[in-house]
Amino acid sequence: MKNYDYIILGTGPAGYRLAQLLANTGKSLLAVEGGLFGGTCPNVGCEPKIFLSGAVHTARASQQLVGRGIAQPAQLDWDQLMVTKKARFDSWPAETKAIYEKMCDVAVGYGQFVDSHTIEVAGHRYHGDKIIIATGHRPHRLAIPGSQYGHDSSDVLSLAHRPDQAVFIGGGYVGIELATFLAAAGTKVEILIRSDRILRGFYAKYAQAMVDAMEQQGVKFHFHTSATKIEPHEGKYLVTTNQGTQLATDYVVDASGRVPNTEKLDLPAAGITFSKHGIDVDDHLQTNVPGVYAIGDITSQKLPKLTPVAELEANYLYHQFEKGATAPVHYPTIGTAVFAFPEIAQVGISPDQAGDEYHIEERNLSGGSLYAGLNEQEAKLTLVYDSTDHLVGASEIGASAADDINNLVPVIGLKISRTDWERHVLPIYPALADKVAGLLKK
């Protein structure tokens, strides 16, 4: 059995960043991967998603401008777009594996705990002084009859041919984004929502505005509706719902959420505490077992499951392991977004969470020349101020919401006042950043 200073389970953004840092320390390091090298983000997540989003946004933006300077709107060719996407991304897992093999030792297979500091991979056992679990999340699959006929987000992001009809089950950010993409390409999309709203965690008013916008794009929503069965029928699929209805479709997408990759780890063998939400960690990202840590989407922490958060945690562990840092992990102000069309983005305190001690203002952005020129009639920005008139939260809906909110992340995180902004910053005009001073209180 070979001994290592560090064993990292998982090669996604969290594991990759930590391996990069530890590879330069001279310590022995083993990286373990049973799936795609690089994990979800670069293969079947944020990277291919934003790649596809570029074409989708361009097509939708041109359609908004018909009669306002655009004579012929762009038409999205899904099959061609997917060929272009595959040419860019299909080689990434092998390329990432080659990078790892230059950085450290690699074990291909799923790591399973034998005891608190020993893992087994493909019949071989390894001991690690420190073991870091970074195995991430995967798509949840509904436990209903016919679930095997459903597809997940990974399938959609590699779908070679566009279906004429698609039913999505779930209204989280993954389902909304992918439904937007297929609808833009011409697929007739219907979405089953088990509650009364989509995008929980985002500002409810803008989530409803997203529904309105998608309905105008031809998407049909079924609220208070869940799937109870999927079955083949005359070359299509029938989705039976709790409302007693049946929807005929060519393609079914199970977008019912994501779950932590814990079951193959045999965590009980190591005595590691975990739940359906993930692995429990303390404020130093250590599990209840000394010397065993967890970072990224696999943890049970109530944080956005985002690549930057995973990489931040990797940086933190490196400084703890190799630089003697002892302070608890600190999470900065975190911005999040849904890359549909329009986009929804937010940072800080949501207007839904703001109590009486906060002051809320909504700004209609459509009057500005930038948004008017793009025919962004529904672009809106809601701001949350505290009792000292400092900006503490912002939510936006609009085609450029993610970029716009990114202008406000440092304002909130650094507690920048209007005086500070005007003294130190002179942004590009005309763009939202130029208007930020007007959003800050004196």
CATH number for region 2-139+259-322: 3.50.50.60
Closest Cα partner for 257 from 193, 181, 311?
193
The tens digit of pLDDT for each residue in 211-261 reads 999 999 999 999 999 999 999 999 999 999 999 999 999 999 999 999 999
C-alpha span between 271 and 268 (Å, rounded): 5
Distances (CA, A) of 87 to 13, 81, 83, 96, 300: 22, 10, 6, 16, 36
Distances (CA, A) of 44 to 36, 66, 86, 163: 9, 33, 11, 19
CATH number for region 147-256: 3.50.50.60
Q: What is the mean pLDDT of residues 388-409?
A: 97
C-alpha span between 342 and 74 (Å, rounded): 17
Banded pLDDT at 442 (limits 50, 70, 90): confident
Q: What is the mean pLDDT of residues 200-206?
A: 97
Sketch the domain layout of the chain as residue ranges: 2-139+259-322, 147-256, 342-439
A 10 A CB-CB count for 68 gives 10
C-alpha span between 25 and 7 (Å, rounded): 14
Banded pLDDT at 74 (limits 50, 70, 90): very high
2-139+259-322 and 342-439 share one fold: no
Q: What is the mean pLDDT of residues 8-15?
A: 98
C-alpha span between 330 and 313 (Å, rounded): 9
8 Å CB contact between 256 and 140: yes
Buried/exposed code over 278-313 (b: 16+ C-beta within 10 A; e: otherwise): bbbbeeebbbebeebbbbbbbbbbeeebbbebbbbb
CA–CA–CA angle 44, 228, 200 (5° rounding): 55
The tens digit of pLDDT for each residue in 97-156 reads 999 999 999 999 999 999 999 999 999 999 999 999 999 999 999 999 999 999 999 999
C-alpha span between 121 and 111 (Å, rounded): 5
The architecture CATH gives domain 342-439: 2-Layer Sandwich (3.30)
C-alpha span between 337 and 348 (Å, rounded): 12
Answer whether the bond into residue 139 is a cis peptide, omega within 30°: no
C-alpha span between 143 and 120 (Å, rounded): 30
Q: What is the mean pLDDT of residues 273-296?
A: 98
Give the rounded percent of residues in the chain with a pLDDT score beyond 70: 100
Three-state secondary structure readout of 31-43? EEECCCCCCHHHH
Helix or strand (DSSP H, E) at 169:
strand 165-169
Banded pLDDT at 273 (limits 50, 70, 90): very high
From its phi and psi, is residue 11 left (phi > 0), alpha (psi between -120 and 50) or beta?
A: alpha
Q: What is the mean pLDDT of residues 51-65?
A: 97
The tens digit of pLDDT for each residue in 17-57 reads 999 999 999 999 999 999 999 999 999 999 999 999 999 99
Per the DSSP assignment, residues forming a β-bridge with 336 are 346
Closest Cα partner for 105 from 29, 1, 171, 12?
29
C-alpha span between 16 and 134 (Å, rounded): 9
The tens digit of pLDDT for each residue in 299-318 reads 999 999 999 999 999 999 99
8 Å CB contact between 375 and 213: no
What does the mean pLDDT of the chain come to? 97
Q: In this predicted structure, what is the pLDDT of residue 262?
A: 98
Q: Which two tokens stand for residue 323?
A: 């630089």
Helix or strand (DSSP H, E) at 93:
helix 92-103
Instruction: Calculate the CA 29 to chain-centre distance.
Output: 28
Long-range contacts of 312-319 (CB under 8 A, 24+ apart): 313/14, 313/285, 314/13, 314/14, 314/15, 314/16, 314/17, 314/18, 314/21, 314/134, 315/17, 315/21, 316/285, 317/18, 317/132, 317/285, 317/293, 318/18, 318/21, 318/22
Give the rounded percent of residues in the chain with a pLDDT score beyond 90: 98
A 10 A CB-CB count for 133 gives 34
C-alpha span between 177 and 181 (Å, rounded): 6
Give the amino acid at 331: Y
Three-state secondary structure readout of 6-35? EEEECCCHHHHHHHHHHCCCCCCEEEEECC
C-alpha span between 243 and 89 (Å, rounded): 40
Give the amino acid at 327: A
Buried/exposed code over 18-51 (b: 16+ C-beta within 10 A; e: otherwise): bbbbbbeeeebbbbbbbbbbbbbbbbbbbbbbee
